[in-house]
């Protein structure tokens, strides 16, 4: 998912500390990925050593010094290059598919319970994302708004997959392997 590119994308807008980047990320990217300090700080170090960003230490009394990162011309170029890089095909990679693959090992009741729990959790995730709408409509550009819409559709599609699974189980002849 290339964390460095995302960080550079945020740093183009404004100079930021690792902490700021984490916040910015959670607010706008949260629905398609997490990002932890264990990834951010090492990435910033690497990017600094590669000349993609520069660091300004702002001394504060008491609190730990802020390390403000600024993107360089090389960083801007690296960012655009990776936006343009050839696409690497992606796979679904969803844990639920793994479970479903082995569903024959569970009883019909367990299968139904698991699929229903999953459906509930997807509905919840969709609701959470939907609740960000006002914020996104205020701040996002048109492409970022498309990301939001695709995120919603993603959950809708998962819900519809789960309904399909539940339908298939409704009139199942038990099929233990």
Nearer to DNA, 66 or 112 (CB): 66
Contacts 24+ apart (CB under 8 A), 114-117: 115/162, 115/165, 115/166, 115/169, 116/166
> What's the min distance (Å) between Cβ of 147 and DNA?
17
Burial environment of residue 145 by CB neighbours within 10 A (0 to 12, 13 to 18, 19 or more): middle
Please state, in angstroms and rounded to a whole number, the distance separating the CA atoms of residues 153 and 130.
Answer: 11
Identified binder of DNA from the candidate list 13, 49, 63, 89, rule CB under 7 A: 63
36 binding partner (options DNA, its own copies, none; Cβ < 5 to 8 Å by kind): DNA
- Listed residue (92, 74, 65) closest to 154, CA to CA: 92
175 touches its own copies (CB under 8 A) = yes
Please state, in angstroms and rounded to a whole number, the distance separating the CA atoms of residues 148 and 57.
Answer: 35
DSSP code, position 16 = B
> Which SS3 state, helix, strand or coil, does residue 91 take?
coil
Q: Residues 39 to 68: which contact its own copies by CB under 8 A?
A: none
> What's the min distance (Å) between Cβ of 64 and DNA?
5
Identified binder of its own copies from the candidate list 49, 59, 61, 93, rule CB under 8 A: 93
- Taking only Cα atoms into account, the Rg of the chain, rounded to an integer number of angstroms, comes to 22
Nearer to DNA, 33 or 160 (CB): 33
Please state, in angstroms and rounded to a whole number, the distance separating the CA atoms of residues 157 and 96.
Answer: 13
Q: Residues 13 to 42: which contact DNA by CB under 7 A?
A: 17-20, 23, 33-39, 41-42
Residues near DNA (CB under 7 A) are: 1-4, 17-20, 23, 33-39, 41-43, 46, 60-68
**Interface contacts to its own copies, rule CB under 8 A:** 1-2, 5-6, 9, 12-13, 28-29, 31-34, 79-80, 83-84, 86-106, 110, 114, 117-118, 121-122, 124-125, 141-144, 146-147, 149-151, 153-154, 157, 161, 164-165, 168, 172, 175, 177
């Amino acid at each position: 998912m290339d964390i460095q590119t995302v960080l550079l994308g945020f740093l183009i807008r404004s100079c930021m500390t690792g902490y700021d980047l984490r916040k910015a990320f959670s607010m706008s990217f949260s629905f398609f990925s997490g990002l932890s300090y264990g990834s951010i700080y090492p990435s910033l170090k690497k990017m600094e050593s590669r000349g993609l960003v520069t660091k300004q230490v702002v001394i504060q009394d008491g609190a730990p010094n802020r390390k403000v990162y600024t993107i360089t011309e090389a960083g801007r170029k690296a960012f655009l290059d990776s936006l343009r890089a050839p696409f690497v095909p992606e796979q679904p990679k969803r844990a639920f598919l793994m479970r479903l693959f082995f569903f024959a090992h569970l009883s019909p009741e367990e299968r139904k319970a698991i699929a229903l729990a999953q459906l509930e959790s997807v509905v919840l995730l969709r609701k959470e994302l939907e609740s960000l709408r006002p914020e996104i409509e205020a701040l996002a550009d048109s492409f970022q708004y498309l990301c939001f819409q695709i995120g919603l559709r993603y959950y809708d599609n998962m819900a519809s997959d789960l309904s399909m699974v539940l339908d298939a189980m409704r009139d199942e002849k038990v099929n233990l392997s």
